[in-house]
A and B are shown apart, each in its own frame.
Chain A
Amino acid sequence: MSHPEDEGMDDIMQNMPSRTLGRRAGLVATRLAGSMRRRHSRRSSSLTNSLEMRMHKMEDTAAPQRAVVMELCELTEAELIRAVRSIPDTLANKRKYRDLVSQRQISRHKSYCFTCCSDLRWNVTKSLHRFGDSLRSLLLLMVPWREALRHIDSRFGTGVLSYFLFLRWLLAFHLLSFLVNFFFITLPQLLAPPVVTRPSFTGLELLTGAGYFTNSCFYYGYYSSDIIRIGHGSSANDTLSGTPYNMQLSFFFTVSAYLLVCGVGLLYRMGALFRRNYVVPGSVVNYATKVFSGWDFGLTDEHAVQLRKHNFNTQFRELLSEAKRQRLSLSLGQRAQRLAVHGAVWLFVLGTTIGCCAAVFFISKATKPESNVQDSATEARLLLMPIAVCSFNVVAPLLFSILSLLEDYKYPRHYIAVNIFRNVILRLCILGILCYYWLHDVAKEKRSNVTLVEPDVTCWETFVGQDLYRLVIMDFLFSLLGTFFGEFVWRLVATFHSKQGQKLESRKPEFDIARNVLDLIYAQTLAWLGVFFAPLLPVIQIIKLVIIFYIKKISITMNCQAPIRAWRASQMATLFIFLQFFPFFVGVIAIVGTVIWTEAPSLSCGPFKNRKRFYDAVTAWVNTLRSTNPGAAWIYDYLISSAFFFFVLTAVMVLVIYVNYQIVDGRKQMILLLQEQIENEGKDKRFLLQKLNALHKISPHPPSRQGPQQFSPADAPVSNDYLPPQDYELEMAAEMPRNSHEPPIEMRNLPPRDYLVGPTSHPASLGSRHNLLPEPDV
């Protein structure tokens, strides 16, 4: 709001404490006190309050610095470094603070400990920190591809960069999985290899994973017996020599531990992202956010910068026109039409999804190999299912996005979110139908007491592992093809067809971040599903991810233009990690859990062949523990396998969530009230300044300009129109806007204002309005 009556008061306003404090070094101290108050809530607020009061009264610049140093001395070593780094002052001053503080701390340590002990302790803590720092720098070195990512960031911005960062983060999961599986499952078996027969190697195995690879250490079927003997026992007679290694338990615990670590990692990252990106509830700040945090400071490529500036222009114009358009409301007929279009598109989407799932199911059933028939034609037919799945995953989302152009969305981000949602539904349904097929049709080996039914597929776990391998390989090939056609060929076509005067850059394809991130999440889900059935699948995934990184990087640099829209990286990152966790990871846990709890293992292969269910291995082990370690057995019986314990745990968690939710709700209301209060204070301030200005004009003497205003009613010269001090105050009090007495309308529904702090809550303290005037130095 422009206030024309403010012009004469600029000099007064410049000298107000809130402004002058900012220009002195005192800002350092108050900011430090403020940030440390937020971090160390246990620290008494009286210390920082007294610090701030001292700030108000100080004139010279040395005293605030002394106060800062004293405040810093209270901290421990780690907190000290963090505090020093976050002082918003020049580096030279920060070094001065640090030196002063360390001198003081050394002298303080010397004063009340044995001298040699204190020196030793000081040196030990210092060297620990140095070690921590060097460890941190070493870890930074081990992280791959930093130069490449910097180059991408400078040319394409944070949105595209987030895709590559996500890829690199997923690589860590696969490395962990590979290490764990290799050392705990594969290596022991390799040291005591079973005798297997293998057909000859034809080239088809690389695609199908069957044939030569069937009985290799790649799949579940290779791991032969429940307890293997590492060492000397290789002949059949020597069954008791060598170190025993319980393969069943190692399988079970390795898989559970890995999935647990993945779950914890995902939760941690979700929590970190949520904490970082959580938007404090309050009024909408579209324009301000765009202006102040819209510019990507990391963009250094000239063309990208020009494009981004042009995009800002478009965005502001869009926002302005949206503001005008919102006032038009749609008629009933138009709204019905919009809903009808939405409904039709959704029906089509769901129909296509069901059709794709049915197609995948029937193709899988049709291509399932008959028992013990192994020729290359049957093997090649196995590839039909993965090809079908991948084609549906590519074609259907394109169809969906073309159709959604017919719909009318209020904001472009709704359009992106709805498309992502539809894509996710499609992939989840296809994966779900595949899991159903595997668990019900493939794993059909039922035991009967009299005869053993010969199943269609011997060793169904290996077959499922092979299916997953095929899916992974096909997904890889399709993404390579997609990059080739979607980006390379498009650019060639654009170059060929570019007209004169039309910039080539704007016709190049744009990197579709959402689709690529979903591809990564989907591939990760396949890898998680395969962790039980194909222990060495992570190797393939690692190779695949590394190749995809380089291909995408090269393709993007050569073929794509800088993104037109500024990608809201934080919101999208939170959305994607939530998607990865909630449907995909939880689904994997559900499937693997179902397999372990209810399915019957194959009779002829794998470490679990003598058990009725996979889980029986653990129960058998606990039974053996009962004699040796009854405590562990008790924990198992009463805590892990009892439903009551989990019920209690769930109830406690729900209670904690409810309490936190209420706290958050209360704080939201508090924020609204405080904002209201700030607005009212602003109005009061302006009112008072206007009164001052009016008095200025009445009295001819200007106020003195050195330091803070020495303005008090006693300074004003006597004139006929000048009111004596008491009446002046009373008159001001009489004309004060009554905002502290009557709550505004929207506040009446809120709980009583008992907890409002500050002068506005007390009508009697109107005399304290004096605080708004610049205080004379005392």
Chain B
Amino acid sequence: MGNKKSTFTEEQLNAYQDCTYFTRKQILRLHSRFQDLSPVAVPGNDSELTVLSQVVRSMPELKENPFRQRIVEVFSTDGQGNMSFNNFLDMFSVFSEAAPRELKMQYAFKIYDFDGDGTIGREDLEKTLRRLTREELTSQEIMLVVNKVLEEADLDDDGKLSVTDFEQMILRAPDFLSTFHIRI
């Protein structure tokens, strides 16, 4: 107990509090969760303790999530999913209840953009659908649904969803705030 308190200085805790949506107690609790995942020092990463991608993905909050691979990739600095404590805190701060809709929209877009090209194209939509439905839809049905999604949400009709298209669509989905939320 005393060990954990001495890990952070007052200034560091203030900085974390100012930059995330967590209180002190929650930050310390998250730190202990992070320690439980046995972080290792990765060379060449400013000697910051990092948790490997598969360990993060096996956390109970993320284990059953169909998008866990993309989530850890989006929030990690190396893009592979290996997370430092900063990344860890950032991830759960964005998923917390207090985070505003605009911030969540940004990250949701990055998560659903599987190939990282700045737009959600057909392949991204297909992959999303496959993960959502446990591979039960036929290819033809998937194509129909992808067409419908593009028809509804693609405003400038270029066959892909840009950030603005995505934002416009999320503004019409009031459930987004309550579903894009992980409790920790």
Contact = CB atoms under 8 A, between A and B. Distances in A.
Interface of A: 1-3, 6, 14, 18-19, 22-23, 31, 35, 81, 84-86, 88, 90-92, 94-95, 98-99, 130, 133-134, 136-137, 140-141, 150, 153-154, 158, 276-280, 282-289, 291-302, 305-306, 309-310, 312-313, 316-317, 319-320, 323, 568-571, 675, 678-679, 681-683, 685-686
Given A81-B18, A88-B107, A309-B66, A14 B179 contact: no
B33 interface: no
B21 A85 contact: yes
Nearest to B179: A296
Given A86-B102, A285-B172, A310-B136, A130 B90 contact: no
Contacts of B137: 313, 316-317
B155 interface: yes
Nearest to B177: A276
A293 B157 CA distance: 21
B64 A305 contact: yes
Contacts of B21: 85
B55 interface: no
B136 A313 contact: yes
Given A86-B100, A133-B17, A683 B157 contact: yes
Interface stretch (B1-9, B35-43, B143-151): B143-151
Contacts of A277: 174
4 smallest beta-carbon distances between A and B, as pairs: A682-B156, A137-B23, A277-B174, A293-B176
Contacts of B87: 90-91
Contact of A130 (B14, B107, B112): B14
Contacts of B25: 137, 141
Contact of B19 (A23, A98, A294, A309): A98
Contact of A85 (B18, B24, B169, B173): B18
B47 interface: no
Contacts of A570: 174-175, 177-178
A293 B15 contact: no
Nearest to A151: B183
B86 interface: yes
Interface string B92-133: 010100011011001110001000011100100100110011
A310 B134 contact: yes
A11 B63 CA distance: 38
Given A280-B171, A291-B145, A312-B133, 5 more contacts: A14-B117, A88-B103, A98-B19, A305-B66, A309-B132
Nearest to B138: A317
B141 A320 contact: yes
Contact of B174 (A19, A276, A288, A678): A276
Contacts of B172: 279-280, 282, 285, 289
Contacts of B66: 295, 305, 309
B133 A569 contact: no
A471 to B, nearest CB: 34
Nearest to B25: A137
Interface residues of B, number: 79
B90 A90 contact: yes
A38 to B, nearest CB: 8
Contacts of B77: 90, 92
B166 interface: yes
Contacts of B61: 154, 300
A94 B19 contact: yes
Contact of A284 (B102, B152, B182): B152
A295 B133 contact: no
Contacts of A678: 155-156
Contacts of A95: 15, 19
B183 A91 contact: no
A141 B172 CA distance: 34
Nearest to A273: B174
A9 to B, nearest CB: 11
Contacts of A92: 77, 86
B141 A287 contact: no
A154 B182 CA distance: 9
Given A133-B23, A293-B173, A675 B155 contact: yes
Given A90-B86, A316-B137, A293 B156 contact: no
B144 A320 contact: yes
Contacts of B112: 292
Contacts of B175: 158, 289, 293-294, 568-570
Contact of B158 (A35, A306, A685): A685
A472 B64 CA distance: 42
A293 B128 CA distance: 12
Nearest to B120: A292
Given A154-B183, A297-B95, A140 B23 contact: yes
A6 B172 CA distance: 30
B125 to A, nearest CB: 7
A493 to B, nearest CB: 30
B56 to A, nearest CB: 14
B20 A85 contact: yes
B52 interface: no
A288 B19 contact: no
B19 A91 contact: yes
Given A86-B102, A313-B133, A679 B157 contact: yes
Nearest to A146: B183
A309 B152 contact: no
Contacts of A312: 132-133
Given A91-B19, A95-B19, A1 B152 contact: no
A317 B141 contact: yes
Nearest to A574: B174
Contacts of B24: 133-134, 137
A10 to B, nearest CB: 9
B80 to A, nearest CB: 15
A298 B181 contact: yes
B67 A295 contact: yes
Contacts of B174: 276-279, 570-571
B8 to A, nearest CB: 13
A681 B158 CA distance: 11
8 contacts: A84-B18, A90-B77, A99-B15, A291-B125, A293-B180, A319-B148, A568-B175, A682-B158
A22 B178 CA distance: 27
Interface in B36-91: 60-61, 63-67, 77, 86-87, 89-90
B145 A98 contact: no
B179 A158 contact: yes
Given A91-B90, A287-B148, A293 B170 contact: yes
A309 B134 contact: yes
A323 B147 CA distance: 13
Given A313-B137, A682-B157, A31 B18 contact: no
A768 B93 CA distance: 44
A35 to B, nearest CB: 5
B10 to A, nearest CB: 10
